[in-house]
Amino acid sequence: MKTVVVGNSGSGKTWLATKLAMATSLPVVHLDELFWQPGGFDQKRQPTETASLIKSARRGAGWVVEGVFGDLAAEFLVDADVLVWLDLDWAICEARLLARGSESKAHMARTQSEAGLAKLLDWAANYRCREDTRSFSGHLALFNAFDRDKVHIRDESEVDALLEAARRDGLVEAIRTLRGAGW
């Protein structure tokens, strides 16, 4: 199974990807790790290095990819079976980012300064206003173009329903059932 999870910062991509990966015994690929140099969020990798890392990760028999980088996610969507778009209200995303503070990526052995967190909050707050591949419009374009199993999740109760159905029926069947119910 090859799954891609996209959404705004703070939407729960990493948490959901980790849950899905545990349920399927697949590795999680964090797009942040492919985009940024190790250790922080202040130096981007060279495009050739990012492309090489993507190529290597795509070779896996299965994976759960997560991140906000629509341009990088698109590279994985070529092979993906499933796309999950977490499109939660900004108030939820903001509260999560504030609760995590500058430790927001400690699980990835990365640091983020208080100034970096402030910059992230400002950037993420404009998710619906920006017109790039890391925005609402960018994720919408990915979602509309993806022709396999996909789900657009708009609130936390839908995340819970997806996980419950995925545990019971498997992710693909869960998505098909939920989409058939009007999602």
pLDDT of res. 131: 95
**Overall domain count for the chain:** 1
Distance CA 109, CA 71 (A): 24
Phi-psi region of 83 (alpha: psi -120 to 50; beta: other; left: phi over 0): beta
- The CATH code of the domain that includes 54 is 3.40.50.300
In eight-state DSSP terms, residue 8 is: -
Query: H or E element: which one contains 86?
Result: strand 82-86
Distance CA 35, CA 26 (A): 21
pLDDT of res. 104: 47
Tell me which residues of the chain have a pLDDT lower than 50: 104, 107-108, 110
For residue 12, the enclosing domain spans 2-180
pTM of the model: 0.91
Distance CA 180, CA 142 (A): 21
pLDDT in tens, 91-139: 999 999 998 875 545 544 545 577 878 889 999 999 999 999 999 999 9
Report residue 66 CA to chain centroid gap.
3
Q: Which of 75, 87, 93, 83 is nearest to 34 (CA)?
A: 75
